[in-house]
């Protein structure tokens, strides 16, 4: 059971790419210029006015193609993806991305399309976008979707902007300057509301239930309320079933409700947020719909609106007249453009292909398996010394994930979640999501095993936490000094807060510390 | 597994969701399909696309056709980079290092010491930049050129709505250059920033940057430059002409056009605490580890971003465009200093040749502005009386995709289009365009 770690990460001790540079090397040749062109245009640089002419070329590294490829292959080997091993980083739905969808997203029939080509020549990609919009409507109960947001925070921002436009049109924007959110909602809900110019009222969960008390919501809702932006289910894996009551309260006060469905993986096909009265919602294609997380993006999100609000959706939206697909910009009340062109097209193709292959039955099964996986893991982890699951009494069963606490272990051994997270890689596992700030659960960790996690992986994960817990209670030093088997040892984090030491570029590092420090 | 939990039926696991709100009908979605069927279906749909590589395209306007070296796709297909997410440097060292190298190489291009984690696109980072300037200066107006990209302007408006006023500065009708008098009139103690684009959306090079920077600083405002990165192979970097913040679009750095779906915004600034503390996105710093000779990485002031500060951050961040930034790092390291310089020159030679060829055609005015142009230029057809839409249809018959019709975006320029020529165009391609255009305007 307490088999020690046998894993060893690749340790290339790879230099920074500038250290590999050798004068005169180059990894790529540029297409030639015909002599007739040279003759016709003459000395091209002389056309640039003197003060706009670059005096010396940018100091990029000088490398051959084999050196470049080796360097980046080594860096990839020192990166831990879903395909590398047990990677159940919570709040992120790290499900497997089927490879056939890569082939499709990388087809030249996608990559070689220019966004301004005439719609006659892009009917294939527009058909995919249109169908995906419709499928997301079916999954949410909303009337129309826009695929414009580039990520979850962008989607929530768009929803906040729609709430603003709605009240502006009604002439109530001056009065309605507050957005309510909950602290267990993703930070972008408060962040996007503030960015859109709203004051933010944040509700905290009740000690017993893990959800805000309805009376607290009643008090928060006033004539100033523009809307409620909240995540449901929460990152605790709790579904806030008061949501119907919140929606009713906010609607009665004249506000709108936008539900952040980044955690929709557990409810696909089981709960349609539009059916219970939400006005707006969003999905993350890189979470629930299997597009790869791409080392933190590009992701992609989509926002849905109920009939009265579709006119505000960000443009363009793909329209279909029965014969031809077009990009529809003719929407006078739209909140406008939120990103250039039309969305993260490769992810739209991947998500389309994924939903197509899963079908209605597959989606329902995937959410069921994900929830079984999670509750099985919860059961296993609750047997680990020092681990607890806050709000267990009210919510012994959770949806897509659970948020645990190592408070007891920290009190008893001095080992907290940051220490455990440094140790877990020694056993060959990706580290764990702790929690977004603020940590209302002390020493939190949040594993989320999606449907593509095997029982063997869940058993192994629990076994590793058992082993680390045992170490915490018997040999905490080995955790304090971890990692031991990772690509590097413990990091000096002083540059994080020290302007004299931080260096976000190599040129800055060389200026501050010298080349050989 | 159910027994261990223990429940008898998986449905019991959904106890949190009241039964009466659960959806009980079958979703109106397709039935599951095999890998073969899925692939066949999607490929059948995709075959209805006719790509710009099957034709000869002269479209740019925010998404440009450049050659993507094979190594770029090799690295961004690596499944570790493709499927990683948000691990710390102990598990994801390579991701942090590659992104630090991206930051570093963008820093070399723009001549600034601080570069942030990548973001969505040029429009979004330009909007972030003006919001940063407003926070730093406590002022609520930004001056932008009338020639600014309409898409980027629209995004900036979305991001600034009700908070920052966006005011146009006129361009000189002959040269396109930002009008110094109009700028002086409008720049005031209310101005948070002056934002310019270089090369401009209309393709010409703005040359008054140093004067604009000085004026901005005299008025206590910041100077922000939005740039196309390949042009920096031959153009003075923003850091050298006084920009406090630079931003731009990284798609030319090894990313396929992808129907506009593979964009990469980059954001850089001076290494000043007041600026660093308002950058909305992650910032990776290089550092050392306990072991001598080892490189490590950490986030700078993570408490400043929305992740931790929530509504106090005043900005959003989140899942970004890291895989594209890693690709851009590969691209920049393949080209190196001489490669990027040669590429910039090549692009400029070819586009200037195209301008010359098209200008020889009677009834075609190319370019509208008496200024140096990088890869895009205006083509005016006022004297032909045929709208660009019609001309483009005729060009298409010869397998040529003409430029972007900008007559709606800039009515004051008449029947004008924006054409783009890069290293991917050959002399025969350009000559073919010239011949086809000559026929089309008849």
Alpha carbon A483 to chain centroid distance? 26
3-state secondary structure of B421: coil
Report how far residue A63's alpha carbon sits from residue A23's, in angstroms, rounded to the nearest whole number. 8
The answer as to whether B22 is a domain residue is no
Where exactly are the structural domains of chain A? Answer: 105-356, 366-494
What domain count does chain B have? 2
Provide mean pLDDT across the span A190-218.
96
B255 and B364 within one domain: no
B349 and B246 within one domain: no
B74 and B61 within one domain: no
Asked if A294 lies within 8 A of B14 by C-beta distance, the reply is no
B116 and B225 within one domain: yes
Q: Which residues of A touch B50 (CB under 8 A)?
A: 117, 121-122
Report how far residue A213's alpha carbon sits from residue A276's, in angstroms, rounded to the nearest whole number. 19
The answer as to whether B266 is a domain residue is yes
Q: Which residues of B touch A380 (CB under 8 A)?
A: 4
Residues A397-423 pLDDT 10s: 999 999 999 999 999 999 999 999 999
- Which residues span the domain enclosing B145? 70-331
Domain A366-494, CATH among 3.90.1150.10, 3.90.550.10, 1.10.3720.10, 3.40.50.280: 3.90.1150.10
Give the orientation angle of helix B93-110 with respect to helix A506-513, to 10 degrees.
Answer: 90
Mutate to test the interface with B, among A100, A125, A296 (most CBs of B within 10 A): A296
Report how far residue B114's alpha carbon sits from residue B125's, in angstroms, rounded to the nearest whole number. 14
Tokens of A337: 């453009």
The answer as to whether B217 is a domain residue is yes
Q: Which residues of A touch B281 (CB under 8 A)?
A: none
Tokens of A136: 């997301």
Query: How far from B411 is each of A3, B382, B404, CA to CA, in Å?
Result: 74, 12, 14
CB of B298 within 8 A of CB of A517? no
Residue that finishes a domain, picked among B313, B331, B349: B331
Report how far residue B363's alpha carbon sits from residue B359's, in angstroms, rounded to the nearest whole number. 9
Query: How far from B428 is each of A15, A273, B402, B434, CA to CA, in Å?
Result: 44, 57, 15, 10
Of A83, A193, A286, the CB nearest to B311: A193
In chain A, count H helices and then E strands.
15, 11
Provide mean pLDDT across the span A194-220.
96
- What count of residues does chain B have? 442
Alpha helices in B21-138 (DSSP H): 35-46, 70-76, 79-83, 93-110, 122-137
Residues 363-402 of A with CB under 8 A from B: 363-364, 368, 371-373, 375-376, 379-380, 395, 397-399
Of A38, A114, A293, the CB nearest to B84: A293
The answer as to whether B326 is a domain residue is yes
User: Tokens 């684009």 identify what position?
Assistant: B197
Tokens of B434: 């010239």
What 8-state DSSP symbol labels residue A16? Answer: P
SS3 labels along A423-435? HHHHHCCCCCCCC
Mutate to test the interface with B, among A505, A508, A512, A513 (most CBs of B within 10 A): A505
Alpha carbon A498 to chain centroid distance? 28
Tokens of B59: 């479209």
The answer as to whether B204 is a domain residue is yes
CB within 8 A of B166, min separation 6: which ones? B130, B141, B142, B144, B153, B156, B157, B160
Asked if A344 lies within 8 A of B261 by C-beta distance, the reply is yes
B327 and B240 within one domain: yes
Q: Is the pLDDT of residue A2 over 80?
A: no
Band (pLDDT 50/70/90 cuts) for residue A517 is low
Q: CA-nearest residue of chain A to B153?
A: A337
A140 Cα to chain B: minimum distance (Å): 10
CATH number, domain at B319? 3.40.640.10
B360 and B312 within one domain: no
Q: What is the rounded end-to-end Cα distance, in angstroms, of chain B?
A: 76
Provide mean pLDDT across the span A351-379.
98
Asked if A31 lies within 8 A of B85 by C-beta distance, the reply is no
Residue of A127, A147, A126 whose CA lies nearest to A136: A147
Alpha carbon A30 to chain centroid distance? 37
From the number of C-beta atoms within 10 Å of its C-beta (0-12, 13-18, 19+), residue A335 rates as buried
B359 and B409 within one domain: yes
Residues 34-53 of A with CB under 8 A from B: 34, 36-38, 40-41, 44-45, 47-49, 51-53
- What residues pair up with A457 in beta bridges, in sequence order? none
What 8-state DSSP symbol labels residue B195? Answer: E
B113 and B149 within one domain: yes
In DSSP notation, A322-338 reads: SS-EEEE---TT----S
Half-sphere exposure of A322 (CA within 13 A, CB side): 0
Q: Which residues of B touch A154 (CB under 8 A)?
A: 120, 316, 318
Report how far residue B197's alpha carbon sits from residue B205's, in angstroms, rounded to the nearest whole number. 9
Query: How far from A251 is each of A49, A244, B17, B366, CA to CA, in Å?
Result: 61, 11, 21, 57
CB within 8 A of B310, min separation 6: which ones? A187, A190, A191, A194, A200, A202, A437
Band (pLDDT 50/70/90 cuts) for residue A3 is low
CB within 8 A of A419, min separation 6: which ones? A472, A479, A480, A482
From the number of C-beta atoms within 10 Å of its C-beta (0-12, 13-18, 19+), residue A383 rates as exposed
Asked if A60 lies within 8 A of B80 by C-beta distance, the reply is no
Q: Are strands A317-320 and A325-328 parallel, antiparallel or unpaired?
A: antiparallel
Complex prediction ipTM: 0.98
- Phi first, then psi: what are they for B132, rounded to 5°? -60, -45
B56 Cα to chain A: minimum distance (Å): 11
Determine the pLDDT at residue A153.
Answer: 97
3-state secondary structure of A315: coil
The answer as to whether B15 is a domain residue is no
B352 and B304 within one domain: no
The dihedral through the CA atoms of A312, A265, B258, B120 has a sign that is positive
Determine the pLDDT at residue B52.
Answer: 86
Residues 190-229 of A with CB under 8 A from B: 190-197, 200, 202
CB of A285 within 8 A of CB of A348? yes
The answer as to whether B47 is a domain residue is no
Diameter of chain B measured on Cα atoms: 83
CB of B92 within 8 A of CB of B80? no
User: Tokens 């996690």 identify what position?
Assistant: A453
- What residues pair up with A225 in beta bridges, in sequence order? A178
Residue of B434, B379, B364, B365 whose CA lies nearest to B410: B379
Residues A114-139 pLDDT 10s: 999 999 999 999 999 999 999 999 99
Band (pLDDT 50/70/90 cuts) for residue A6 is confident
How wide is the angle at C-alpha A54 spanned by C-alphas A53 and A58, nearest 5°? 160
- List chain B pLDDT tens, one digit each, 442 residues: 999 999 999 999 999 999 999 999 999 999 999 999 999 999 999 999 999 889 999 999 999 999 999 999 999 999 999 999 999 999 999 999 999 999 999 999 999 999 999 999 999 999 999 999 999 999 999 999 999 999 999 999 999 999 999 999 999 999 999 999 999 999 999 999 999 999 999 999 999 999 999 999 999 999 999 999 999 999 999 999 999 999 999 999 999 999 999 999 999 999 999 999 999 999 999 999 999 999 999 999 999 999 999 999 989 999 999 999 999 999 999 999 999 999 999 999 999 999 999 999 999 999 999 999 999 999 999 999 899 999 999 999 999 999 999 999 999 999 999 999 999 999 999 999 999 999 999 8
Tokens of B96: 């942090």
Residue of B197, B235, B241 whose CA lies nearest to B61: B197
3-state secondary structure of A171: coil
- What residues pair up with A182 in beta bridges, in sequence order? A203
CB within 8 A of B45, min separation 6: which ones? A124, A127, A128
Q: Is the pLDDT of residue A449 over 80?
A: yes
CB of B289 within 8 A of CB of A493? no
How wide is the angle at C-alpha A112 spanned by C-alphas A77 and B123, nearest 5°? 80
User: Tokens 């406090």 identify what position?
Assistant: B244
B265 and B147 within one domain: yes
Residue of A410, A411, A218, A239 whose CA lies nearest to A420: A410
Band (pLDDT 50/70/90 cuts) for residue A70 is very high
Report the run of H or E that residue A202 belongs to, with start and end. strand A199-203
User: Tokens 């003075």 identify what position?
Assistant: B236
Residue that finishes a domain, picked among B331, B353, B380: B331
Where does A105-356 sit in CATH, by number? 3.40.640.10
User: Tokens 């095999």 identify what position?
Assistant: B34
- What count of residues does chain A have? 517
Determine the pLDDT at residue A516.
Answer: 64
A472 Cα to chain B: minimum distance (Å): 20
Q: Is the pLDDT of residue A334 over 70?
A: yes
Q: Are strands A199-203 and B114-115 parallel, antiparallel or unpaired?
A: unpaired
Report how far residue B147's alpha carbon sits from residue B369's, in angstroms, rounded to the nearest whole number. 12
B10 Cα to chain A: minimum distance (Å): 7
Residues 269-308 of A with CB under 8 A from B: 269-272, 275-276, 284, 286, 292-299
CB of B166 within 8 A of CB of B139? no
Of B54, B295, B316, the CB nearest to A191: B316
CATH number, domain at B392? 3.90.1150.10
């Amino acid at each position: 059971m307490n088999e020690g770690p046998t894993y060893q990460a690749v340790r290339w001790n790879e230099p920074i790419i500038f250290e590999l540079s050798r004068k005169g090397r180059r990894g790529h040749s540029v297409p030639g210029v015909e002599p007739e062109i040279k003759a016709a245009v003459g000395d091209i640089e002389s056309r640039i006015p003197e003060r706009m002419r670059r005096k010396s070329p940018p100091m990029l590294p000088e490398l051959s193609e084999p050196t470049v490829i080796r360097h980046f292959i080594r860096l990839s080997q020192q990166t831990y993806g879903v395909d590398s091993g047990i990677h159940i980083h919570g709040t992120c739905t790290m499900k497997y991305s089927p490879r056939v969808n890569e082939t499709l997203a990388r087809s030249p029939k996608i990559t070689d399309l220019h966004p301004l080509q005439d719609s006659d020549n892009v009917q294939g990609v527009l058909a995919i976008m249109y169908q995906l919009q419709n499928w997301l409507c079916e999954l949410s109960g909303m009337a129309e979707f826009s695929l414009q947001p580039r990520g979850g925070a962008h989607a929530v921002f768009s929803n906040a902007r729609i709430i603003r436009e709605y009240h502006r049109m009604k002439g109530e924007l001056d009065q309605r300057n507050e957005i309510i959110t909950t602290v267990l909602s993703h930070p972008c809900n408060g962040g996007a509301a503030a960015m859109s110019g709203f004051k933010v009222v944040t509700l905290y969960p009740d000690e017993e239930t893990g959800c805000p008390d309805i009376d607290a919501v009643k008090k928060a809702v006033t004539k100033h309320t523009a809307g409620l932006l909240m995540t449901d289910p929460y990152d605790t894996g709790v579904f806030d079933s008061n949501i119907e009551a919140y929606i009713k309260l906010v609607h009665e006060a004249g506000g709108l409700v936008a539900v952040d469905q980044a955690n929709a993986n557990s409810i696909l096909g089981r709960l349609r947020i539009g059916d219970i009265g939400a006005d707006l919602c969003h999905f993350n294609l890189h979470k629930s719909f299997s597009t790869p997380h791409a080392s933190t993006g590009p992701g992609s999100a989509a926002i849905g609106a109920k009939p009265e609000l579709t006119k505000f959706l960000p443009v363009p939206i793909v329209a279909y007249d029965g014969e031809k697909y077009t990009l529809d910009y003719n929407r006078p009340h739209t909140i406008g453009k939120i990103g250039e062109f039309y969305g993260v097209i490769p992810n739209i193709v991947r998500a389309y292909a994924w939903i197509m292959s899963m079908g209605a039955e597959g989606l329902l099964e995937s959410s069921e398996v994900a929830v079984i996986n999670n509750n099985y893991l919860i059961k296993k982890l609750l047997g680990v010394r020092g681990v607890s699951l806050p709000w267990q009494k009210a919510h012994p069963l959770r949806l897509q994930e659970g948020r645990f606490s190592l408070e007891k272990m920290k009190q008893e051994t001095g080992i907290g979640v940051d220490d455990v997270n440094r140790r877990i890689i020694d056993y060959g596992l990706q580290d764990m999501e702790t929690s977004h700030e603020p940590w209302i659960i002390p020493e939190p960790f949040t594993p989320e095993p999606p449907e593509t996690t095997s029982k063997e992986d869940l058993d192994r994960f629990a076994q590793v936490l058992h082993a680390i817990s045992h170490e915490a209670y018997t040999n905490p030093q080995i955790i304090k000094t971890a990692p031991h088997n990772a690509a590097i040892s413990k990091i000096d984090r002083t540059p994080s807060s020290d302007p004299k030491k931080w260096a976000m570029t190599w040129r800055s590092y060389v200026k501050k510390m010298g080349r050989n420090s | 597994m159910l027994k261990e939990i223990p429940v008898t039926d998986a449905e019991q696991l959904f106890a949190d969701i009241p039964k009466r709100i659960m959806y009980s009908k079958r979703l109106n979605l397709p039935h599951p399909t095999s890998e073969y069927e899925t692939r066949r279906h999607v490929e059948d749909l995709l075959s209805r696309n006719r790509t710009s590589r099957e034709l000869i395209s002269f479209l740019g306007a925010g998404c440009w056709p450049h050659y993507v070296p094979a190594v770029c796709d090799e690295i961004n297909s690596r499944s570790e980079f493709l499927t990683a997410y948000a691990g710390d440097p102990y598990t994801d060292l390579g991701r942090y290092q590659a992104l630090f190298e991206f930051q570093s190489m963008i820093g070399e291009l723009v001549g600034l010491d601080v570069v942030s984690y990548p973001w969505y696109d040029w429009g979004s980072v330009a909007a972030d930049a003006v919001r940063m300037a407003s926070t730093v200066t406590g002022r609520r107006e930004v001056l932008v050129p009338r020639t600014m990209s309409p898409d980027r302007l629209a995004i900036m408006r979305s991001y600034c709505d009700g908070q920052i006023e966006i005011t146009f500065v006129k361009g000189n009708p002959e040269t396109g250059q930002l009008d110094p008098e109009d700028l002086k009139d409008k720049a005031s103690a209310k101005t948070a920033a002056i934002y310019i684009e270089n090369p401009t959306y209309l393709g010409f090079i703005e040359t008054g940057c140093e004067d604009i920077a000085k004026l901005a600083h005299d008025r206590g405002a910041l100077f922000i430059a939005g740039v196309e990165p390949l042009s920096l192979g031959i153009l003075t970097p923003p850091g050298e002409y006084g920009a406090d913040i630079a931003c731009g679009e990284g798609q030319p750095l090894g990313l396929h056009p992808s129907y506009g779906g593979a964009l990469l915004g980059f954001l850089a600034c001076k290494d000043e605490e007041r600026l660093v503390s308002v950058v909305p996105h992650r910032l990776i710093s290089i550092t050392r580890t306990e072991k001598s000779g080892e490189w490590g990485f950490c986030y700078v002031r993570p408490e400043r971003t929305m992740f931790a500060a929530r509504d106090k951050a005043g900005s959003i961040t989140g899942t970004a465009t890291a895989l594209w930034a890693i690709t851009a790092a590969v691209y920049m390291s393949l080209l190196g200093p001489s490669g990027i310089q040669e590429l910039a020159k090549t692009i400029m030679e070819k586009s200037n040749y195209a301008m010359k060829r098209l200008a020889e055609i009677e009834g075609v005015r190319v370019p509208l502005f008496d200024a140096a142009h990088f890869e895009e230029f205006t083509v005016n057809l006022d004297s032909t009386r045929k709208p660009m839409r019609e001309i483009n249809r005729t060009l298409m018959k010869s397998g040529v995709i003409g430029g972007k019709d900008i007559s709606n975006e800039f009515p004051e320029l008449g029947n004008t289009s924006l054409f783009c020529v890069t290293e991917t165009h050959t002399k025969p391609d350009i000559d073919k365009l010239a011949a086809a255009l000559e026929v089309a305007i008849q």
